[in-house]
Amino acid sequence: MAAVTAAQNPICIDAHLCSMNLDSLVEPLSSHPPLGGNLPEERAHATPAESGDAGLLDAYSRAVTAAVERVSPSVVNVEVHQTQRPTGGRTRSGEPRSGEPRERRGGGSGFVFTPDGLILTNSHVVHDATRIEVTLADGRHAPAHTIGDDPATDLAVIRIDASALQAVPLGDSQQLRPGQMAIAIGNPYGFQFTVTAGVISALGRSLRSYSGRLIEDVIQTDAALNPGNSGGPLVDSRGQVIGVNTATILPAQGICFAIGINTAKFVASRLLRDGRIRRSYIGVSAQTVPIHRRVVRFYGLGWETGVVVVDIEDRSPARTAGLREGDVIVALDETPVAGVDDLHRLLTDAQVGARCALTVIRHTEKLVLPIFPEEAR
């Protein structure tokens, strides 16, 4: 590019400039009409459309700043210390690695949602933490302890002992619409209390948590999120929290995700009550597979996939019920099961210890097995 630019420009700049007759270009200012004298009237003044755009931009700025001023005092920086056990092996010099545990540090964001110091954040931020320290918006530092965390929804509740805390107002994620303003506040890469704004790109997304379960009703937004934003609030134009920022697709731009605040309310209430989310399990390893069309038509199934049992735990509800490897689960209590995520969704705390009817296809035979799910450990 540099060679092309040089070839298109004069080789000798001084000679090029000197070839101009500068004296012939100079005229007295008095020979020119006053500036703006012959300009069209619409150019001298802003058009109604330009005034309207400026007003919209100004209204947008006021909405963002007002929401940030309302929520920022409740946003916190969460610093986590974890003890990392050595995995063995040898150093580069060939010597055995030391058996002493090492401390690993990480961090994220969170927000105060009750005046007595309860903070909502992501499970992957505080999971297995040996020490948690919270930095408030006013610069105060306070140690925190975990009330409970749920890897299946990537949510956690921690608590600090501090005074004069401002709780953030919580909104309703069921009332959201695509295109609505979304504001993210957090601490990306340690830059505390960073604000980014965008819109809600889509609703009803599903996101795989690091525990393997599917998180439902996830909000997609183009408000920029980066490492360190995890656990921070996603806010609407009224300054109400509508989601908990949780993930981004790193190769992409403008594709970020937040867990709906309605899900967060439910999980937080259960964590406060029980310290965990109770779910049931039947004790199988399984995967989603297609069902032969002849079997689907013969039994009148409304779906063409099911859950094949790959392995069964000893002394598990599945073993007691007589389930076998190779069986394909197609329903639980007459509710269709088209995949592993459907089975996860149906195995809630309501099924713990309750008699359930598990419908399976064994070879080409349809069976209904009574099963008593137990609480997941």
Among the candidates 205, 240, 271, a domain finishes at: 271
Domain range spanning residue 230?
A: 173-271
**Rounded average pLDDT over 353-373:** 95
Domain of 220: which CATH number?
A: 2.40.10.10
Give the residue among 189, 70, 73, 197 at the shortest CA–CA distance from 135: 73
Report yes or no: 206 and 169 within 8 Å, Cβ to Cβ. no
Would you say residue 11 has pLDDT above 80?
A: no
DSSP-based three-state secondary structure for 94: coil
> Is 32 a domain residue?
no
Would you say residue 356 has pLDDT above 60?
A: yes
Whether residues 267 and 356 fall in one domain: no
> How many domains in the chain?
2
The pLDDT-based confidence of 193 (bands split at 50, 70, 90) is: confident
Q: Determine which one of 74, 209, 230, 280 is catalytic.
A: 230
Q: Determine which one of 72, 74, 109, 124 is catalytic.
A: 124
| C-alpha distances out from residue 195 to 98, 198, 199, Å | 43, 10, 13
| C-alpha distances out from residue 97 to 84, 85, 126, 145, Å | 13, 11, 27, 32
> Is 39 a domain residue?
no
pTM over 0.85: no
Among the candidates 218, 248, 271, a domain finishes at: 271
> Is 77 a domain residue?
no
Report yes or no: 257 and 246 within 8 Å, Cβ to Cβ. yes
Q: Determine which one of 72, 74, 123, 154 is catalytic.
A: 154
Among the candidates 214, 240, 271, a domain finishes at: 271
pLDDT of residue 25: 38
| E-only strand ranges, the chain | 75-84, 102-112, 118-121, 131-135, 141-150, 155-160, 181-186, 194-208, 214-221, 233-235, 241-248, 256-260, 280-281, 284-290, 305-312, 328-332, 335-336, 356-362, 365-371, 374-375
201 is catalytic: no
> Is 284 a domain residue?
yes
> Is 119 a domain residue?
no
> Is 253 a domain residue?
yes
154 is catalytic: yes
pLDDT of residue 217: 85
Whether residues 251 and 182 fall in one domain: yes
Whether residues 247 and 290 fall in one domain: no
Give the residue among 106, 125, 109, 30 at the shortest CA–CA distance from 71: 109
Per residue in 16-73, pLDDT (tens digit) is 333 334 344 344 444 445 544 454 454 445 555 556 666 766 888 999 999 999 999 9
Per residue in 157-184, pLDDT (tens digit) is 999 999 999 999 999 998 999 999 999 9
Whether residues 289 and 323 fall in one domain: yes
230 is catalytic: yes
